[in-house]
Amino acid sequence: MLTYVARRVLVAVPTIFGVATVIFLLVRLLPGDPARTIAGVLASQADVERIRHQFGFDQPLYVQYVTYIVHLLTGDLGISTRTGAPVREEILTRLPYTLELAAISTVISVLLGVTLGMIAATRRGSPLDLMISALAVFGLSMPVYWLGLMLIILFSIQLHAFPAAGAQDPLGFVLPSITLAMFSLALVARQARSAMLEVLGQDYVRTARAKGAPMRRVLAKHALRNALLPVMTVIGLQFGALIGGAVLTETVFSWPGVGRLLVDSIFSRDYAVVQGVVLMLAVGFIIVNLLVDLLYAYVDPRIRYS
């Protein structure tokens, strides 16, 4: 197990470096003068030069890269041009809001998704199965931002049940969490259904049924446990959709998380913050998937030795 952990972690490190490098190159190699972009069209040439020097754009590329990596390793993400505060602080004050939203949505989508997937698989071909499968395709096809706006129209404007914006009171969590959870819910339900179907066709399930074990017991003791393995992988992967969805959901609900910080920073050309947020989200995604892989190997010994 330990060698497996070491191997997986060692693979993740160059990926994280790669991500940092791509983000570095994205800002510097794209057409246009980043110093001019940050300063704005109306800035004087002197201002542009000052910004160029302040950001180190006047240095050779490899010097900039080394400085950037060294700063990253010490946890220094730079200074926000918009607020003058360190990027790390900007991110850390908003991160809890995004994490809360992501956590609630993950819980909703996993619990509901696995339940629906199981119901559909055990009643394969029934109207209920058809309905759940249709719901899953709808969930996968629905634009998050549109779903959010529809929920606002229905529950905030017409029914006055939940607030349309802000994270001040607990009720404010309801609509954004549902919005964000929908895609993942559909993904998990689908995966749970097909995993369950596969497991139900296995010999050990048939044996358990043959020896007279009641279906409920077979499902709980044999089928669910084995079906949950592939579902775990999807939970890791859906985290990516969740982060991407958070950017959109936070914009719809004026949520004070990192997603909105990212969009606001793109508009105000606050490149240090854009770099920092994208890097943090990508690294978070890598780490979550690494943890899922390790958990998978821990639960299923077949993985470790392959």
Question: Is there binding between residue 18 and another protein (CB under 8 A)?
Answer: yes
* Tally of CA atoms within 13 A in the half-sphere of 156 that contains its CB: 19
Range 77-86 contact pairs with CB under 8 angstroms and sequence separation of 24 or more = 77/272, 77/275, 77/276, 77/279, 78/272, 78/275, 78/276, 79/272, 80/265, 80/270, 80/272, 80/273, 81/38, 81/268, 81/269, 81/270, 81/271, 81/272, 82/265, 82/268, 82/270, 82/273
The nearer residue to another protein, 208 or 238, going by C-beta atoms, is: 238
Min dist CB 15 to another protein, Å, is: 5
Among 240, 268, 294, 304, binds another protein (CB under 8 A): 240
Contact pattern for another protein over residues 177 through 216, marking x by CB under 8 A: -----------------x----------------------
Using the contact rule CB under 8 A, the part of the chain among 55-63, 112-120, 146-154, 173-181 near another protein is 146-154
Q: Which parts of 54-73 interact with another protein (CB under 8 A)?
A: none
Q: Which residues fall within 8 angstroms of residue 95, CB to CB, at 6 or more apart?
A: 257, 258, 280
* Region class of 100: left (phi > 0), else alpha (psi between -120 and 50), else beta: alpha
In angstroms, what is the minimal distance from the CB of 243 to another protein?
Answer: 4
Under rule CB under 8 A, residue 137 binds another protein: yes
Residues in region 153-172 near another protein by CB under 8 A: 153, 157
SS3 content of the chain, % helix, strand, coil (to 5): 80, 0, 20
Query: Least separation, in Å, of the C-beta of 210 and another protein?
Result: 25
Cα four-point dihedral sign 302, 8, 243, 144: negative
Of these, 65, 145, 155, 296, which contacts another protein (CB under 8 A)?
145
Contact 259/206 with Cβ under 8 angstroms? no
Residues of span 242-281 touching another protein by CB under 8 A: 242-245, 247-248, 251-252, 262-263, 266-267, 274, 278, 281
Return the number of the residue (65 or 213) whose C-beta is nearest another protein.
65
Q: Which of 5, 8, 15, 228 binds another protein (CB under 8 A)?
A: 15
**Distance between CA atoms of residues 293 and 229, nearest Å:** 11
Residues that bind another protein in the complex, under the rule CB under 8 A: 14-16, 18-19, 21-23, 26-27, 30-32, 134, 137-138, 140-146, 149-150, 152-153, 157, 194, 239-245, 247-248, 251-252, 262-263, 266-267, 274, 278, 281-282, 285-286
